[in-house]
Chain A
Amino acid sequence: MDNAQHYFDQLMFGVAPYLALIIFFLGTIQRYRSQAFSYSSLSSQFLENQRHFWGMVPLHYGILVVLLGHVIAFMFPRQLLAWNGHPVRLYILEISALIFGLLTLFGLVSTLVRRLSFNKIRTVTSPADIVLHLLLLVQVGSGVYVAVSHSWGSSWFAASASPYLWSIITLDPDITYVLAMPFAVKLHIVNAYLVIGFFPFTRLVHILVIPNPYLWRKPQVVRWNREPQARG
């Protein structure tokens, strides 16, 4: 039993990240080579745009800030711990991060409800969309739960998760950093590998082709000109 647990842990935290990264890189390259025009978010905004706002805006602003926080904690753990050296600064960071985590969760739930409530949108929903939605719900839900129940994540991420992730990147995986983490933390980590591995087969690929020039190009207005319908 102990051996089985040992190999399971090795598989989840020592092997899965590499599998996920290999699938991510090979899958995204292969998809771009064979179906470059499928690199899209497949937006359904034309089908419904009222509820769309309350899903997409909180989801995207939330996830961008939360992901940036993860990257900063990964890249600059010592600086982050130095910032958290005063409890007030720690609390400000944690509350801000929780706000954006909850915005992400709110946006994600809104998009799921919208997707299931409108016939037009249900029609253009693929099984991959449903799987992706569930994976993201688990990811964001576990993240918010961990933030509240196993505080203070920004500090212990820098102390434990960051060296673990660096050990993965430097091809010398040291899973002892995460072995005794609570279940929700382990779920968050393993589910992240699932999302990364599943990434090339979903509409998440739009992250790789963000139309950055939209930020500085001149605004464009699309005009609708309908031909008069033939009468009688």
Chain B
Amino acid sequence: MERSRDIRITRCRRRVVISSRVLGGPVWLVVSVLAVVGVFPLSAQGQETAAYYKQNCASCHTIGGGRLVGPDLKDVSKRQDRDWLVRFMLNPQAMIDRGDPYAKQILAEARGVVMPPVAGLSRDRAKLLLDLIEAESALEKSQFEGVKFSDRPFTTADVQLGRDLFRGTAKLKNGGPPCISCHTVRGLTLLGGGRLGVDLTKVSERIGGRKPLSAWLVSPATVTMQPVFRAHPLDAEEILPLVAYFEDAAKQVGDDDSVAPLAFFLMGLGGMVLVLGLFDVLWKNRFRAVRRPLVAGGEMRTSV
């Protein structure tokens, strides 16, 4: 009786050991996944609709303040039905690609600028935005009528300051990264600006001129720029010189700097060859000074 109990306990222990061996790896992996998913719920950040509009829409659209890059949204849901608008907001490019006539009309009016995807926009949030736009459209003066910008003529000093801000030689007041980090414009410097973002030489013309470009810079709405400039927005006094610089850059003639990446790569390649040569010189005795004489000496002794 006692013996059979011992056997049962031993079998039980063995089963536990075997199951922990078999499942040991996958179990802690699964537990880790569940822990991670549980600790960090996959929900979007809870933003109020008005704040969301200000952050994501106001740089291209006013409500009752006239056209910027995109159309004035006052009474937009009277011009098109809500379902269509929600579908467009969620994926403008797809609606254009599908050949939707109204989407193509919007594209033509925006001079070919496609509305970029909006960060964190869901179907529910799109409906809330339309509710907000309808409510704001009913007001005599919407809070989203748009910022008023100075329309004084640009000076040479504005262009120079804009150029310094773009290149980073003048710091942006709120600590944002200079434009050169990701963008280039014609005639900038030897190797040009960054190529993560688009070339900004013709940005003023592309976006529709001084007012839309100024509005856009208040809160850059591309998915890449938005998180960066949400924390470090451009100062109002920095926008005018930057726009002045962009308008001046558009007038520049001459070669573009499309060869700059190749020049940059060749400089890196040349540097690499030089460093390899340096390694060869630094370790010129690497096989000759110690090991080979010893091996040769050992072999001589063994052959005696």
Binding site for B on A (CB under 8 A): 2, 7, 10, 14-15, 18-19, 22-23, 26, 49-50, 53-54, 57-58, 61, 78, 81, 84-87, 90-91, 94-96, 98-99, 101-103, 106, 147-153, 155-156, 158-160, 163, 171, 173-174, 176-177, 179-182, 185, 221, 223-229
Q: Nearest Cβ distance between residue A97 and chain B, in whole angstroms?
A: 8
Question: Residues of A contacting B264 with CB < 8 Å?
Answer: 94-95, 98, 148, 151
Chain B, residues 231-274, CB within 8 Å of chain A (1/0): the string is 10000000000000000000000000000010011011101100
Question: Residues of A contacting B191 with CB < 8 Å?
Answer: 87, 91, 94, 151
Within the complex, which residue of B168, B226, B272, B302 is in contact with A84, where a contact is CB–CB below 8 Å? B168
- A163 to B302 Cα, complex, angstroms: 64
Question: Residues of B contacting A185 with CB < 8 Å?
Answer: 196
Question: Residues of B contacting A228 with CB < 8 Å?
Answer: 302, 304
- On whether the beta carbons of A98 and B271 are closer than 8 Å, the reply is yes
Within the complex, which residue of A7, A23, A53, A103 is in contact with B275, where a contact is CB–CB below 8 Å? A103
Known: A19-B36, A58-B275, A87-B167. 12 other contacts (CB 8 A): A19-B33, A22-B32, A49-B287, A81-B181, A84-B178, A87-B190, A99-B271, A149-B195, A151-B195, A152-B194, A156-B181, A224-B294
Question: Residues of A contacting B37 with CB < 8 Å?
Answer: 15
- A221 to B180 Cα, complex, angstroms: 53
- A84 to B171 Cα, complex, angstroms: 11
- A22 to B35 Cα, complex, angstroms: 11
Question: Residues of A contacting B39 with CB < 8 Å?
Answer: 171
- On whether the beta carbons of B180 and A155 are closer than 8 Å, the reply is yes
Question: Residues of A contacting B40 with CB < 8 Å?
Answer: 14-15, 18, 171, 173
Count of A-B residue pairs with CB < 8 Å = 172
Q: Nearest Cβ distance between residue B120 and chain A, in whole angstroms?
A: 7
- A106 to B287 Cα, complex, angstroms: 21
- On whether the beta carbons of A106 and B196 are closer than 8 Å, the reply is no
- A210 to B176 Cα, complex, angstroms: 39
**Which chain B residue has the least Cβ–Cβ distance from A104?**
B272
Q: Nearest Cβ distance between residue A84 and chain B, in whole angstroms?
A: 6
- On whether the beta carbons of B168 and A225 are closer than 8 Å, the reply is no
Within the complex, which residue of B42, B120, B304 is in contact with A7, where a contact is CB–CB below 8 Å? B42
Q: Nearest Cβ distance between residue A86 and chain B, in whole angstroms?
A: 6
- A127 to B175 Cα, complex, angstroms: 48
A–B Cβ pairs within 8 angstroms, 14 of them: A14-B42, A22-B36, A50-B287, A54-B276, A81-B178, A84-B181, A91-B191, A147-B268, A148-B268, A150-B196, A155-B178, A155-B194, A159-B182, A160-B227
Q: Nearest Cβ distance between residue B149 and chain A, in whole angstroms?
A: 26
Question: Residues of A contacting B29 with CB < 8 Å?
Answer: 19, 23
- A180 to B97 Cα, complex, angstroms: 20
Residue from B119, B181, B182 having most chain A Cβ neighbours under 10 A: B181
Question: Residues of A contacting B226 with CB < 8 Å?
Answer: 176
Interface size class of B (residues with CB under 8 A): 35 or more
Q: Nearest Cβ distance between residue A87 and chain B, in whole angstroms?
A: 5
- A6 to B7 Cα, complex, angstroms: 54
Q: Nearest Cβ distance between residue B33 and chain A, in whole angstroms?
A: 7
- On whether the beta carbons of B42 and A158 are closer than 8 Å, the reply is no
- On whether the beta carbons of A163 and B169 are closer than 8 Å, the reply is no
- On whether the beta carbons of A180 and B224 are closer than 8 Å, the reply is yes
Within the complex, which residue of B167, B195, B283, B301 is in contact with A150, where a contact is CB–CB below 8 Å? B195
Question: Residues of A contacting B301 with CB < 8 Å?
Answer: 225-226
Within the complex, which residue of A15, A57, A61, A163 is in contact with B227, where a contact is CB–CB below 8 Å? A163
- On whether the beta carbons of A181 and B224 are closer than 8 Å, the reply is yes
Question: Residues of A contacting B223 with CB < 8 Å?
Answer: 176, 179-180
- On whether the beta carbons of A226 and B268 are closer than 8 Å, the reply is no
- On whether the beta carbons of B275 and A160 are closer than 8 Å, the reply is no
- A185 to B269 Cα, complex, angstroms: 21
Chain B, residues 163-198, CB within 8 Å of chain A (1/0): the string is 000011101000111101110000011110111100
Q: A19-B36, A179-B223, A229-B302 are in contact. Are A148 and B178 (CB under 8 A)?
A: no
- A159 to B191 Cα, complex, angstroms: 20
Question: Residues of B contacting A22 with CB < 8 Å?
Answer: 32, 36
